[in-house]
Structure 1
Amino acid sequence: MNLPDGIKHAVHMGANEALVEWLSVDPSEEELESLGSSYQSPGDDVVPPDEAKRYIDDLKKWDDGTVASSPGAKLNELIYAAGVEFARGIIAEGAKIGKVPTRAKPYMKELAPLVALMKEAMNEGSFDEEAVDLHAIIWGSESKGDDEDDD
């Protein structure tokens, strides 16, 4: 996907919430309220401060001005806020439930592959997370996600 890295982190969180978590329960409008409840922050110190600040800049549309204890903590707050909105957008376009949040609308064209996965999952009645590499779809061949330091 041709998106800034900070946005990709939030999209990845949102894709997991929509395709894995939301579809694992009774996918309904009522369940939209629980989006994000399974999100587990990687921790405030996982991303170096300079990198966190760059990602924070990518996600500034979601910054409500609250002060966080560190750049990593702020990044986690923004990934959560944006990720939930991206999840809602994927669900709205792919499952026709709910509405695409205003801040997510400019990104929906790039999220088309994830929307297609949602449509397919809705048609089939399930999503096989083992058969689909969300990381590769979002990050492409230049994997810059959480797996780069797994040596």
Structure 2
Amino acid sequence: MSEKTILLVEDNADDEALTLRAFAKNNIKNEVVVTRDGAEALDYLFAQGAYEGRDVSILPQLVLLDLKLPKIDGLEVLRRIRGAERTKFLPVVILTSSREDQDLVEGYRLGANSYVRKPVNFDEFLEAARQLGLYWLLLNEVPQRTSG
């Protein structure tokens, strides 16, 4: 398997740049694949559309999922990830600016591993990125992936 990748599902270019900058400042050198809407994220994960022919046996180590996405919202992306045998154990962290309690509750109900509200302050965001990287990329263990 290639280097552990991170799938960043983010439609806001400023938030994307901020996340990538925070990873770089924290020496998180994993490849980051960026998809900008829910449909593109699903295409990437399930090797369809523009990603047809991608090796589906290589899954990201972590999905950072925004909720308020064009085409297919983040909660529906999460529902589909959890509904497929091959991706159901994929670590998914909701990384959103949403302050709606219903999003928090629904995210966990659908199987999110974590829910992080995006800090507005860059230093706070740097620290959040450092902690996400440390935990999800170095410490967390997931079940061995099965074919299917």
TM-score with structure 1 length normalisation?
A: 0.32
Task: Give 1 or 2: higher helix fraction.
Answer: 1
TM-score with structure 2 length normalisation?
A: 0.32
Higher relative contact order (CA 8 A, sep 6+): 1
